[in-house]
Structure 1
Protein backbone atom coordinates (compact mmCIF):
# COMPACT_ATOMS: atom_id res chain seq x y z
CA UNK A 1 0.00 0.00 0.00
CA UNK A 2 2.83 2.39 0.80
CA UNK A 3 4.43 1.77 -2.59
CA UNK A 4 1.11 2.50 -4.29
CA UNK A 5 0.78 5.81 -2.42
CA UNK A 6 4.38 6.70 -3.24
CA UNK A 7 3.83 5.98 -6.95
CA UNK A 8 0.63 8.05 -6.97
CA UNK A 9 2.37 10.95 -5.21
CA UNK A 10 5.29 10.84 -7.66
CA UNK A 11 2.85 10.72 -10.59
CA UNK A 12 0.92 13.73 -9.23
CA UNK A 13 4.19 15.58 -8.66
CA UNK A 14 5.31 14.90 -12.25
CA UNK A 15 1.95 16.08 -13.59
CA UNK A 16 2.03 19.27 -11.54
CA UNK A 17 5.58 20.08 -12.66
CA UNK A 18 4.77 19.45 -16.31
CA UNK A 19 1.66 21.63 -16.12
CA UNK A 20 3.67 24.48 -14.57
CA UNK A 21 5.97 24.73 -17.59
CA UNK A 22 4.94 27.60 -19.83
CA UNK A 23 4.66 26.67 -23.45
CA UNK A 24 6.40 28.64 -26.17
CA UNK A 25 3.04 29.58 -27.64
CA UNK A 26 1.97 31.15 -24.36
CA UNK A 27 5.24 33.07 -24.16
CA UNK A 28 4.83 34.33 -27.73
CA UNK A 29 1.24 35.39 -26.98
CA UNK A 30 2.34 37.30 -23.88
CA UNK A 31 5.13 39.01 -25.83
CA UNK A 32 2.72 39.93 -28.63
CA UNK A 33 0.23 41.40 -26.15
CA UNK A 34 3.01 43.35 -24.45
CA UNK A 35 4.22 44.78 -27.77
CA UNK A 36 0.66 45.65 -28.78
CA UNK A 37 0.12 47.46 -25.48
CA UNK A 38 3.37 49.42 -25.93
CA UNK A 39 2.38 50.31 -29.51
CA UNK A 40 -1.00 51.59 -28.34
CA UNK A 41 0.65 53.69 -25.63
CA UNK A 42 3.08 55.18 -28.15
CA UNK A 43 0.21 55.94 -30.55
CA UNK A 44 -1.69 57.62 -27.74
CA UNK A 45 1.35 59.74 -26.78
CA UNK A 46 1.92 60.69 -30.43
CA UNK A 47 -1.73 61.67 -30.79
CA UNK A 48 -1.56 63.82 -27.66
CA UNK A 49 1.64 65.46 -28.94
CA UNK A 50 0.01 66.25 -32.31
CA UNK A 51 -3.04 67.63 -30.53
CA UNK A 52 -0.87 69.83 -28.30
CA UNK A 53 1.18 71.06 -31.27
CA UNK A 54 -2.01 71.96 -33.12
CA UNK A 55 -3.36 73.75 -30.06
CA UNK A 56 -0.08 75.65 -29.65
CA UNK A 57 -0.14 76.72 -33.32
CA UNK A 58 -3.76 77.86 -33.00
CA UNK A 59 -2.97 79.78 -29.82
CA UNK A 60 0.08 81.39 -31.40
CA UNK A 61 -1.95 82.40 -34.47
CA UNK A 62 -4.65 83.87 -32.23
CA UNK A 63 -2.05 85.85 -30.29
CA UNK A 64 -0.57 87.21 -33.52
CA UNK A 65 -4.02 88.26 -34.78
CA UNK A 66 -4.81 89.94 -31.47
CA UNK A 67 -1.49 91.81 -31.58
CA UNK A 68 -2.17 92.98 -35.16
CA UNK A 69 -5.66 94.11 -34.18
CA UNK A 70 -4.27 96.01 -31.20
CA UNK A 71 -1.70 97.76 -33.39
CA UNK A 72 -4.36 98.72 -35.92
CA UNK A 73 -6.56 100.05 -33.13
CA UNK A 74 -3.67 102.16 -31.80
CA UNK A 75 -3.06 103.60 -35.28
CA UNK A 76 -6.76 104.35 -35.66
CA UNK A 77 -6.89 106.02 -32.24
CA UNK A 78 -3.83 108.15 -33.07
CA UNK A 79 -5.48 109.31 -36.30
CA UNK A 80 -8.68 110.13 -34.40
CA UNK A 81 -6.72 112.18 -31.85
CA UNK A 82 -4.91 114.07 -34.60
CA UNK A 83 -8.21 114.91 -36.30
CA UNK A 84 -9.67 116.22 -33.03
CA UNK A 85 -6.78 118.65 -32.52
Structure 2
Protein backbone atom coordinates (compact mmCIF):
# COMPACT_ATOMS: atom_id res chain seq x y z
CA UNK A 1 0.00 0.00 0.00
CA UNK A 2 1.34 3.44 -0.95
CA UNK A 3 1.57 5.87 1.95
CA UNK A 4 -0.06 9.07 0.65
CA UNK A 5 0.50 12.48 2.21
CA UNK A 6 -2.36 13.63 4.43
CA UNK A 7 -3.62 17.21 4.79
CA UNK A 8 -5.11 18.42 8.05
CA UNK A 9 -8.79 19.32 7.98
CA UNK A 10 -8.07 21.92 10.64
CA UNK A 11 -10.22 19.93 13.09
CA UNK A 12 -8.05 17.73 15.29
CA UNK A 13 -10.76 15.22 16.20
CA UNK A 14 -11.70 14.72 12.55
CA UNK A 15 -8.02 14.35 11.63
CA UNK A 16 -7.76 11.58 14.23
CA UNK A 17 -10.74 9.75 12.74
CA UNK A 18 -9.27 10.17 9.25
CA UNK A 19 -5.88 8.87 10.43
CA UNK A 20 -4.11 12.16 9.79
CA UNK A 21 -6.47 14.12 7.56
CA UNK A 22 -7.53 14.14 3.95
CA UNK A 23 -5.42 12.36 1.35
CA UNK A 24 -3.54 14.87 -0.78
CA UNK A 25 -4.58 14.83 -4.43
CA UNK A 26 -7.92 13.09 -3.83
CA UNK A 27 -11.30 14.75 -4.40
CA UNK A 28 -13.94 15.05 -1.69
CA UNK A 29 -17.62 15.95 -1.77
CA UNK A 30 -19.11 17.29 1.43
CA UNK A 31 -22.87 17.32 1.56
CA UNK A 32 -25.50 17.79 4.21
CA UNK A 33 -28.46 19.85 5.30
CA UNK A 34 -28.26 23.57 5.93
CA UNK A 35 -26.45 24.27 9.20
CA UNK A 36 -24.66 20.93 9.32
CA UNK A 37 -21.18 22.52 9.18
CA UNK A 38 -20.13 22.16 5.53
CA UNK A 39 -18.95 25.75 5.21
CA UNK A 40 -17.26 25.64 8.61
CA UNK A 41 -15.37 22.48 7.60
CA UNK A 42 -14.27 24.14 4.36
CA UNK A 43 -13.07 27.25 6.18
CA UNK A 44 -11.16 25.21 8.76
CA UNK A 45 -9.50 23.25 5.96
CA UNK A 46 -8.52 26.46 4.14
CA UNK A 47 -7.01 27.95 7.29
CA UNK A 48 -5.12 24.81 8.35
CA UNK A 49 -1.35 25.03 7.89
CA UNK A 50 -1.39 28.58 6.53
CA UNK A 51 2.38 28.81 6.97
CA UNK A 52 2.83 26.31 4.15
CA UNK A 53 3.26 27.76 0.67
CA UNK A 54 0.29 26.23 -1.08
CA UNK A 55 -2.71 27.29 -3.11
CA UNK A 56 -6.23 27.10 -1.78
CA UNK A 57 -9.65 27.23 -3.40
CA UNK A 58 -13.04 27.64 -1.76
CA UNK A 59 -16.19 26.99 -3.78
CA UNK A 60 -19.68 27.75 -2.50
CA UNK A 61 -22.70 27.63 -4.73
CA UNK A 62 -25.30 28.86 -2.27
CA UNK A 63 -23.82 31.51 0.03
CA UNK A 64 -22.87 35.07 -0.85
CA UNK A 65 -19.24 36.05 -0.27
CA UNK A 66 -20.23 38.51 2.48
CA UNK A 67 -21.86 35.72 4.52
CA UNK A 68 -18.85 33.42 4.08
CA UNK A 69 -16.52 36.21 5.24
CA UNK A 70 -18.74 36.96 8.24
CA UNK A 71 -18.86 33.26 9.20
CA UNK A 72 -15.10 32.96 8.80
CA UNK A 73 -14.52 35.91 11.14
CA UNK A 74 -16.89 34.47 13.77
CA UNK A 75 -15.83 30.83 13.68
CA UNK A 76 -12.16 30.97 12.87
CA UNK A 77 -10.90 33.70 15.19
CA UNK A 78 -7.36 32.84 16.20
The TM-score, its normalising length taken from structure 2, stands at 0.23
Higher relative contact order (CA 8 A, sep 6+): 2
Q: Which has the higher helix share?
A: 1
Greater Rg by CA? 1
Q: Which has the higher strand share?
A: 2
The TM-score, its normalising length taken from structure 1, stands at 0.21
